[in-house]
Structure 1
Amino acid sequence: MAYRNGTYVAFDGNGTTDPTKGDMKYYGLLRKWNNSNRFELNFSDSHLKTYQVKDSSSIRTLKSRLLERMKNSKNMLLIISDDTNWDRGMLNYEIEKVVDEYKIPLIVAYTGYNSILNPSLLRGKWPKALLERIDNGTAKCIHIPFKERSISSAVSQFSVNSTGSNILTSALTTYKKEVYINWGYIDK
């Protein structure tokens, strides 16, 4: 059995390898927060635990590398933006494997929001595999804004190793409004 201590970060690559475009820029920001002592976010990035995959790699090589990363992950941080596609690229494959095979809880982080209090209202943003797994009850998720404090909190609380009140039992879990107020993301 693998030692599952990493956070698997998934996002729609939007068909680009340019780190300033599409959802890649959010992954870059996440890494910046994680590598800086000016922020509280601290996680083990599963993508750094295996050899990098080149653009010229075959789909088979890419899938093999992704599965290796998932196998060593305790949770998945899924970045959803206005650019996230319903059914393109590898994102749906990643969601399927994480939920169906590895039983990893999802931290669904939405860009452009200060709080997520009713994730059902964001249903139109969900990739196909996420929507299917929320609807059939197999996905265990917490829905949060793509903000440093909310990501830090969720990554440290929710994982395959969680016990007690930190076990995700629903596909539509959220933090309470008071938590967002305490973080300074919203007013009373």
Structure 2
Amino acid sequence: MAYRNGTYIAFHAEGNSDPTASDIRYYRTLKMWHTNDNIEFKFVNSHEKVAAVRDTSQAATIKRSLRARLDNSKNMVLIIGQRTRFDMDFVPYEIAYAVDTCRIPIIATYPGQSVIRVSNALRPLWPEALRERIDNGAASVIHIPFNQKAIDDAIGQFSHNKLPFGGGIGIYSDDAYRSFGLL
């Protein structure tokens, strides 16, 4: 069994490596927060624990690498942007493997949101793979804004050993949002 201490980050890249053209910019923001000595934000990046594959690799090779990364993860940060629901290849695969096989919680984070009080209000943004697993009770999900303090708290708090409250529609309380400086 793998040592599960990593955080797996999933996002819709839209087949694009341009850092401004897709949600890859949010992944890079997480990495920037992690390396900035002036920001308290630390995590073990599961993407750095397994050898990288090229964008031109066959889907089977990419999926094998994704599985290895997820097997070493305690949780998944899923960046849900305006177009994530349209991803038909890797994001649905990552969600399915994370929930169905690894049984790790998902930290669903939404750029452009400041406070999330009703996670179902964001349902139209959810990829089908996430929606199905929330509806059938398989997924443990906390829905939070794309905010450094909220994400740092969720990464540090939730794991395969400590799932978020609320099943698939968990949210933070107003007290938590106050502690993050968002209220």
CA distance in 1, matches of 2:181, 2:135: 32
Letter matched to residue 43 of structure 2: F
**Match for residue 95 of structure 1?**
95
Give the distance between the partners of 2:93 and 2:157, measured in 1 at CA.
25
The 1-side partners of 2:151 and 2:55 are apart by: 29
The percent identity for this pair of structures is 43
Matched residues in 1 for 2:25 and 2:7: separation?
18
Distance in 2 (CA, whole Å) between partners of 1:174 and 1:101 is: 24
- Give the C-alpha shift of residue 87 in structure 1: 4.1
Equivalent of 2:170 in 170, 173, 180 = 173
Give 1:9-20 correspondences, 5 Å limit: 9-20=9-20
In the TM superposition, residue 100 of structure 1 has moved relative to its aligned partner by: 0.4
Residue number in structure 2 paired with 1:139: 139
Alpha-carbon distance, 1:86 to partner: 3.3
| Matching residue of 2:35 | 35
- Contact kept, 8 Å, 1:9 with 1:78, in 2: the verdict is yes
Match of 2:127 in 1: 127
1:159 offset after TM fit, Å?
Answer: 0.2
Displacement of 1:23 in angstroms is 0.3
Q: Distance in 2 between matches of 1:161 and 1:178?
A: 24
Query: What do you get for the CA RMSD once the two structures are aligned?
Result: 1.2
- Give the CA deviation at 1:169: 5.5
Residue type at the aligned position of 1:81: G
User: Can you give the 5+ residue segments of structure 2 that lack an aligned partner in the other structure?
Assistant: none
Cα distance in 2 for partners of 1:172, 1:140 equals 8
How far residue 89 of structure 1 moved from its aligned partner, in angstroms, is 2.7
Q: Give the structure-2-normalised TM-score.
A: 0.96
Amino acid at match of 1:45: N
Kept after mapping to 2: 8 A contact 1:86/1:125: no
8 Å contact from structure 1 (residues 87, 128) kept in 2: no
In structure 2, distance between residues paired with 1:65 and 1:168 = 30
User: In 2, are the aligned partners of 1:70 and 1:98 still within 8 Å (CA)?
Assistant: yes
Gaps of 5+ in 1: none
How far the C-alpha of 1:182 sits from its partner, in A, is 2.5
